[in-house]
A and B are shown apart, each in its own frame.
Chain A
């Protein structure tokens, strides 16, 4: 759900053309009407959704509330397709927080629906070569991965406190989670290079988006994340045996869990299998 106080932003890889939005990375085109074009053309990275809605309402002489509601729906749909980012300026949080709490209480507590308090965020990055792609992904998602790592490490550390009460265990687990997230996506991007790509962040879920590739390459791209990260976990566990370090054992186990991504439980595994099926049995 998008709020009026939030600021829609067009990502660098998305171009607004006269009758459609063009995703320069995937080549997808989304048709838009004249009003939607006007709404999107007013996006400058500073105006809030309310200000854009009010400007459009004034231009067409329409009801302010209705136009803002239509704009919020449009922004929501485009955000789901990774064609529009939504920023929340720090100064707006005071006005926004009561609304977020209200929506949470109504949706989750009263109606029992799943409601996630975050938006999809598209991060365009340069994927011109394997090295550039790898480093770009590391640079773009390391801060988010670090935050995610800490959020995951505390509950796990509390569970493991009887085995390893040291605070360093929490630090190592956080680092291992963060490394796992970054290495996984960087491996996808590295194998995908030089095909253009973008990163999609949706809360704790990180994805690499890209245009069409051959099924063979698709298989390698899907398998690269789980296999490279999982193999690095195996290596860390072997090193932990040599160094006799229980902290490295925890790190290695977390990294090696990525291997589960090659089973049909995970999206990467299903994608890899689908591509392999096309390679083995072309249509």
Chain B
């Protein structure tokens, strides 16, 4: 059980951090290049939204990031379970 939990945490944290990095990097490039407003994903599954307003710019990291990280955690936990069961079989 602890291995499944560890796998979930690894997957969740890694993909969560990578999505945050991606969003932060994209916001920097959009600022430098003067891009207009855009978003990736929509509604509850918005991953990233960049808005150019008269006062400046606004970047939103949406709940889609959390959902994707959660999904990655679950997939990694499944992979970890398979790995663990194979390893236990060999032991």
Q: Which of B7-15, B37-45, B47-55, B60-68 contacts A (4 or more CB under 8 A)?
A: B7-15
Q: Does A178 contact B (CB under 8 A)?
A: no
The residues in B between 11 and 25 inclusive whose CB is less than 8 angstroms from any CB of A are 11, 14-15, 17-18, 21-22, 24-25
> Number of contacts between A and B (CB, 8 Å)?
81
> Which residues on the B side are within 8 Å of A234 (C-beta)?
17, 21
B21 and A273 within 8 A (CB): no
A263 and B18 within 8 A (CB): no
- Interface residues of B toward A: which range? 20 to 34
> Which residues on the B side are within 8 Å of A250 (C-beta)?
25
B83 and A270 within 8 A (CB): yes
B21 and A262 within 8 A (CB): no
A255-283 CB mask vs B (1 if < 8 Å, else 0) is 01101101111000110011011001101
Would A246 and B14 be within 8 Å (CB), given that A264-B80, A273-B83, A276-B3 are in contact? Answer: no
> Which residues on the B side are within 8 Å of A281 (C-beta)?
2-3
> Which residues on the B side are within 8 Å of A263 (C-beta)?
10-11, 14-15, 72, 76, 79
Would A253 and B76 be within 8 Å (CB), given that A244-B32, A263-B14, A276-B3 are in contact? Answer: no
CA distance A262 to B28 in the complex (A): 27
Of the listed residues B21, B24, B32, B33, the one surrounded by the most CB atoms of chain A closer than 10 A to its CB is: B21
Kindly identify which residue among B15, B31, B84 contacts A277, using a CB–CB cutoff of 8 Å.
B84
> Which residues on the A side are within 8 Å of B76 (C-beta)?
263-264
Kindly identify which residue among A240, A259, A270 contacts B17, using a CB–CB cutoff of 8 Å.
A259
Give 5 new A-B contacts, CB below 8 A, not counting A246-B29, A250-B25, A280-B3: A237-B24, A253-B22, A260-B18, A265-B79, A273-B6
